[in-house]
Amino acid sequence: MTSAHPASEIDPCVALQAAEWLVRLQTEGNTPTHQAELLRWRSSDPRHEIAWQRAERVLGKLSAGRAGADISADNRLGALSAAALRESSRSQRRMATRLLAAAIVAGPVGYASWRLAPWNEWSADMRTATGERRETKLADGSIIQLDTGSAVDLAFSSSERRLILRSGAVWIQTATDSAQRPFLVQTSEGTVRALGTRYTVRMDPRSRGAAARSLIAVQHGAVELQPAKGGRAVRLDAGSQTRMTAEHIDLPEPASLAADGWTHGVLYAEKTPLGIFATELSRYRPGIVRCDPAVAALPVSGAFQLRNTDEALMALAASLPVKILQRTSYWITIGPR
């Protein structure tokens, strides 16, 4: 069986040129002039042809995902949309080009992260990459911190301060507003209104479609939750957490350390099945962390530092009957020892 070219065989600069061609063809059309120019570029250097073939495979996978995907507003399968690119700003096109280049360099691993990021996440007002956490002070004095792989849009007006969470998680410390505008965090499942608050809102990555959930935990003050499809608003006080779907809010329960541990750079686990823990850890590590079903039910407990996910993996091997198989630095499998 022939193996795929390793990521190191694609030069990043050449991958960027290939990505620029993809975006150009999507936005300007595949005209005879463009075809001739692209052919000259491909034939001018063998590395160009290798990068273009990889680019076509990436685009083909994106198109296949688009063809079989649900096209509703909460769809999580991204697509390289020509219409979206044509309507986007120059800076948004640059962002799409860089993301395409990364997918071309990384191959299947790059596509694995690409396919989970729709256009409205790439072009969000604020976003973080895998493994990145970022704190920002907003114009009203409120402070927010984005978790890994998160994206938000800001929609402040004269009547409200609205933050739209597109993906991932956000921690908020609201400031008093002189205009007394309410501070709202909106997800596809509903709205969280702050009542003098420090709290976290997370879109549960394990839920999809009609079963999609937002996880809310309050550290100080209180929030008011309103499901997207109506129903009675529910108050959630400090020290509590709950889950909200578009139609329902679960009964509150004591907030866990895991709810905001990421804001301190820690991933907490308390008898968490290893399969679920591996999924959580993979959010902070580029590439794929796979858990063998034979060990997926093993319970994991402890506090794991997010600044070094290699140490977290070694800790698992030291405390559980598992071994870490490293195909590449971007492909990890946790299997039975």
Dist CA 36 CA 152 (whole Å): 40
Residue 54 has pLDDT above 70, yes or no: yes
Dist CA 278 CA 262 (whole Å): 15
Residue 80 has pLDDT above 80, yes or no: no
Angle at the Cα of 211 from the Cα atoms of 214 and 331, rounded to 5 degrees = 80
Contact indicator for 62, 116 with CB cutoff of 8 Å: no
Would you kindly state where each structural domain of the chain is located, as residue ranges? 7-122, 126-258, 265-336
Least confident piece of the model among 177-186, 218-227, 245-254, 326-335:
326-335
Interhelix angle 12-28/90-106, rounded to 10 degrees, is 130
77: pLDDT confidence band, cut at 50, 70 and 90? Answer: very low
305: pLDDT confidence band, cut at 50, 70 and 90? Answer: very high
Residue among 116, 107, 92 at smallest CA distance from 56? 107
* Per-residue pLDDT, 94: 72
Per-residue pLDDT of 156-202, as tens digits, reads: 999 999 999 988 999 999 999 988 999 999 999 999 999 989 999 99
Across the chain, what does the average pLDDT equal? 83
126-258 maps to CATH 2.60.120.1440 = yes
Sheet holding 288-291, edge to edge: 288-291, 331-336, 322-328
Residue 73 or residue 255, greater confidence: 255
Residue 134 has pLDDT above 90, yes or no: yes
Tokens describing residue 255: 């907030």
34: pLDDT confidence band, cut at 50, 70 and 90? Answer: confident
* Per-residue pLDDT, 73: 29
* Per-residue pLDDT, 65: 46
Q: 265-336 — its CATH code? A: 3.55.50.30
Q: How many CB atoms lie within 10 A of CB 40?
A: 10
Exposed / middle / buried, residue 53 (Cβ in 10 Å: 0-12, 13-18, 19+): middle
Contact indicator for 149, 130 with CB cutoff of 8 Å: yes
Dist CA 292 CA 333 (whole Å): 7
Instruction: Please state, in angstroms and as integers, the Cα–Cα distance from residue 298 to each residue in 259, 269, 322, following that order.
Output: 21, 12, 9
* Per-residue pLDDT, 10: 79
* Per-residue pLDDT, 144: 97
